[in-house]
Structure 1
């Protein structure tokens, strides 16, 4: 008798059949009560109304009882369950309710973890938020992340690198805060531009809705219109898949800035309302606060944290977890004090001190019992964790601490005063070096310090920069904007090419390599980019046809694009496992002039990759060089801790002299290459570095390098290295926000 629609809802196993029959027998005795209420309640709207009371089938058999129950089930599903709460709470062994659907908690109960910060900005909220996601992801939970930036900018595309660090680019072309890079790297997910919420985006959306009449003439205010827009945005984005087609189960939201900032008040108020909108059992607040240890006292001070938590509570949010950031580990007495004055249990206070690498943070949080707390607080019902829980992260963290062989990489950039300006590049180099068992020794070199004008004005900076460059095993020239420092980048490309040092150029680095090759190999003395010199005789780099000057935000070639390899064999294609095409993220306005491609290739600078239309050059590789590769795209955005980006892996392998072996073995690392033991560098490299150091020690700050030395060749300007040298004086914040790439 259990057939048709009724069986599809009720029958899951033998246990369900027994439970079904027992329930039907109980509901049969309530049949008259059901019918009476439905007939005499005019407000009830039943999709399939019951027949009149006189037509109710008599209870002559189990089949009749089932038919009656089927009618009752339809009535309950259509809105009458408030009359029979006991029936609506019934669950079968398979988890299916009598209403024919799973419990509401499994459908709509998205869990939210809000991460706020106090005392100071930059306290580590991004890493803490990423670590929450990593722990949950390791337990089999699908996690997504949202970063809220309270500034009025629409996005991070026009920011100066000196203020907010690098601009991180997503697959869909979104220019977002660098914290979203941490989320993607930690969780190995793909986020979207809407995962970054700014005040500018929210206000723009509300104003556009007001213009088209969505608010029906109402006075548009911060409360409720702005706060409602924030809540709706968070709910919508939280349900967007970030890995395949799977809907996330937990959303980690990081609120930028510090509690008390005036620009963040609408977001705090929105989340105060949001905790009741999604129910308290689905919402958790983690507050990250600084616990300073002044040198004058030598002991941790908890007053800043107390004040920060007090202010957070005054705004309507009570922290469920307090994450204390400190320079050194703090004792239990400090935790007990914070617990006592901040009105939380001692197990709700977690201490995260400065660690050797950020990969230790999830492990430390796991040891503090964060998973058990979240499982109980958010009713996640996490399964018992396997014995190898987070084993890959443990191995990675141990590798950071236990490798002793060093590889020296020189990063020649324009914004080196703030290391976060190259956060993704630095992490990509770290991923690659750890994969081959080497410790990364990254040296930041200001590009303009390599120029001749710096030698005249501040010679000690000039010689220090060249010493760092010549002491390196490999060189990387990342992207940038504008003319400042471009000559320094070009000279770094020349030194790497002539001395056969492994080299990787990214975006502007590719353009600088092309200009240098044209000047010194093709003898195009005035070769340049139209970005630097619009009237150059040899425009090796030009702006893209679709670029329209005027608007800076969102007008570049952004997001994931396809790059197609040419047929010929190349090292970079081998690093990509001989793929015919790849997808990488882009961010640029200028491109190599296709009119000069043939001339460059005849002299050995091969363009081994281009776009799908074969009009834009994407990858160059120099013939007869150990590793001289540059890409127009940004490979650093897709590098992951356990999956290093191929161009970066090639640079590191070439720098330690093992690239050819790696390619011959089919892109497999030998045990010797990845062993984490002390080893010497190659004797040739050591001898070269020793001789260079000796030479530099003998130099006087106002002296001149000896003829034939590396600095004599490049320092005073090698033949063909022409172009206007730009002055490096200070931070040059203005040219970061308005210069074109």
Structure 2
């Protein structure tokens, strides 16, 4: 009877939700400073709601005038994240995809440039019938219409329409660039009605070391400014270094016009995997359920969010370490390699190791640096030599290329595990042709257009002279053309895979036959067989490079196969993993070799992860 009652109640809630089907919107704004963590908090809200059985989608708004993030310097805005449809977007969309395991579209990233471009195009066509085009109402209407349209796009494999749309407004309240968007959402809350719209404000609560006291004045000022612009927060999320007490919450409540229970604190955690759990423990499900009429089944199941709790606990209890050197060009800003770092973390946790990542500036490995600053040169090489594995990620331009080539040479000679991505594949090919085939001066035409051996060349159709949105972008098929491939095994012995790309140059097909005769095999090619996608070196423990970017599809519970293989090779576990059919069972290993204290099987085809308790993370 209880089981029958449970299913009848659940069916009733689903019917109610279907009959009252209206999109729910959660707007997340930020105050005091940028980079306060809105992206992770927004992703955490989505994770919690998804675990409640709610279909969610997300939108990131960037108030800059650029059409997209594609032409940004990594130092300016961090990494450029690429979506399945080829959209070059803000790195926060990577957070959304990783946390929620969804597939977003280019229109899920809104910029001022996109909005103004769409309005101007309409004006040129005469759609405004000769009216004066203004910020209000034309720009603000365009923003609202864009949000309503994109919110309905399915982002999951089942093609179900989302029920809740999470919207993160980039920057901080008060920025002049963000004013049209704030005004648009001031109007939007009345357009969709109160029970379908919720405003969350994320603010910093500093805790000066001199006093240790939590200062609420910045939050008060930020909320006052937000309310002055017509948006009143329903929930205030306080970011702080240490947990804040109840008295601080009550003070914020008194001055910011919200109940104390709607002031939640997110203090600095050992890892971002704790954030959804920390938020859920403060009653966020009950709040959203009541505020947005979501009809979520209450009480929640006993093992609600258990997979995230297991992941966070597992990450905290890792004892052994794996030291990885990342040889890059933009190492002064770690966000430049955000997805690569996350993919390494996912694989290291799955393998049972704590990731210790060292960023090495590629230019510091070059002979020129040795003459200018020998200390910097020797420190860089010392860090490289102490690592268990080396990764060379993507990049553009001449600077640091020779340093990356030196890193490839060192990994090849010393049998050090190596993973190259995009430009990493290209410099590995250049190094091999120079030092094995003795093609002196072999290079990429990007670096040396007059080289005698143009080993890497541009793709004419992706180099039309205009920079934005013209590269080979998005999810494309790669076919394996060799049975003898470590990556093919790691992907589950499939014939083809789909991965995301972002490049304008490729390995010159003219030289492939000679390169392969010398021992470097291109085991994966595009669907036409003309473009080289995967490189593997014969006789090396793990010397693998991909033209695509596997980091974009890595997930916390589904690590990317090239990254997982790289981490396992770096800790000496890859051969055992392959021998077991790409599956580790820690009980079969000695206690010294076990991957973790938990019994866990990891499948590298990133289709599922089976935990000891029988849960399968699809």
**TM-score category (smaller protein):** over 0.9
User: CA separation in 2, counterparts of 1:105 and 1:204?
Assistant: 36
Q: Which residue of 2 aligns with 1:184?
A: 97
Are 1:250 and 2:170 matched, yes or no? no
Of the three residues 176, 181, 187, the one matched with 1:267 is 181
Of the three residues 145, 148, 172, the one matched with 2:85 is 172
Are 1:404 and 2:319 matched, yes or no? yes
Alignment of 1:286-365 (within 5 A): 286-365=200-279
User: TM-score, normalization: structure 2?
Assistant: 0.92
Q: Which residue of 1 aligns with 2:151?
A: 238
Contact 2:326–2:390, Cα closer than 8 Å, also in 1: yes
Superposition deviation, residue 546 in structure 1:
1.0
Q: Which residue of 2 aligns with 1:27?
A: none
What SS is found at the alignment partner of 2:461? coil
Superposition deviation, residue 414 in structure 1:
0.3
Are 1:570 and 2:490 matched, yes or no? no
What SS is found at the alignment partner of 1:583? strand
User: CA separation in 2, counterparts of 1:372 and 1:442?
Assistant: 39
Alignment of 1:484-495 (within 5 A): 484-495=399-410
Q: Which moved more, 1:252-261 or 1:562-571?
A: 562-571
User: CA separation in 1, counterparts of 2:153 and 2:263?
Assistant: 32
What residue ranges of structure 2 are gaps of 5+ in the alignment? 1-10, 599-618
Contact 2:328–2:360, Cα closer than 8 Å, also in 1: yes
Contact 1:115–1:252, Cα closer than 8 Å, also in 2: yes
Q: Which residue of 1 aligns with 2:66?
A: 153
CA radius of gyration, larger in: 1
What SS is found at the alignment partner of 1:667? coil
Contact 2:482–2:524, Cα closer than 8 Å, also in 1: no
Of the three residues 596, 599, 613, the one matched with 1:676 is 596
Deviations 1:92-123 (CA, angstroms, capped at 9, x unpaired): x9799xxxxx8897354110000000000000
Deviations 1:294-338 (CA, angstroms, capped at 9, x unpaired): 233321110000000000000000001000001111111111111
Contact 2:13–2:297, Cα closer than 8 Å, also in 1: no
Deviations 1:356-404 (CA, angstroms, capped at 9, x unpaired): 1101000000111111111011111100211111111001101111001
User: CA separation in 2, counterparts of 1:458 and 1:330?
Assistant: 46
What SS is found at the alignment partner of 1:546? helix
What SS is found at the alignment partner of 2:462? coil
Superposition deviation, residue 549 in structure 1:
4.1
Superposition deviation, residue 670 in structure 1:
2.1
Deviations 1:688-707 (CA, angstroms, capped at 9, x unpaired): xxxxxxxxxxxxxxxxxxxx
Q: Which residue of 2 aligns with 1:281?
A: 195
Task: Assess, with a 3 A threshold, how the Cα gap between structure 1 residues 104 and 649 changes in structure 2: closer, same or farther.
Answer: closer
Contact 2:362–2:403, Cα closer than 8 Å, also in 1: yes
Alignment of 1:533-682 (within 5 A): 533-671=448-586, 672=589, 675-676=595-596
User: CA separation in 2, counterparts of 1:94 and 1:636?
Assistant: 41
What SS is found at the alignment partner of 2:466? coil
What SS is found at the alignment partner of 1:274? helix
Task: Assess, with a 3 A threshold, how the Cα gap between structure 1 residues 654 and 380 changes in structure 2: closer, same or farther.
Answer: same
Contact 1:406–1:441, Cα closer than 8 Å, also in 2: yes
What SS is found at the alignment partner of 1:526? coil
What SS is found at the alignment partner of 1:481? coil
User: CA separation in 1, counterparts of 2:29 and 2:527?
Assistant: 44
Contact 1:435–1:674, Cα closer than 8 Å, also in 2: no
User: CA separation in 1, counterparts of 2:13 and 2:424?
Assistant: 58
Of the three residues 4, 19, 22, the one matched with 1:106 is 19
User: CA separation in 2, counterparts of 1:122 and 1:596?
Assistant: 46
What SS is found at the alignment partner of 1:392? helix
Contact 1:146–1:253, Cα closer than 8 Å, also in 2: yes
Q: Which residue of 1 aligns with 2:615?
A: none
Superposition deviation, residue 655 in structure 1:
0.5
Are 1:475 and 2:394 matched, yes or no? no
Contact 1:479–1:507, Cα closer than 8 Å, also in 2: yes
Superposition deviation, residue 674 in structure 1:
5.6
Contact 2:17–2:294, Cα closer than 8 Å, also in 1: no
Task: Assess, with a 3 A threshold, how the Cα gap between structure 1 residues 536 and 95 changes in structure 2: closer, same or farther.
Answer: closer
User: CA separation in 1, counterparts of 2:464 and 2:124?
Assistant: 28
Moved over 6 A (4+): 93-96, 102-105
User: CA separation in 2, counterparts of 1:416 and 1:137?
Assistant: 35
Q: Which residue of 1 aligns with 2:418?
A: 503
Deviations 1:442-489 (CA, angstroms, capped at 9, x unpaired): 110000000011111111111111111000111000000000000000
Superposition deviation, residue 547 in structure 1:
2.8
Q: Which residue of 2 aligns with 1:527?
A: 442
Contact 1:405–1:677, Cα closer than 8 Å, also in 2: no
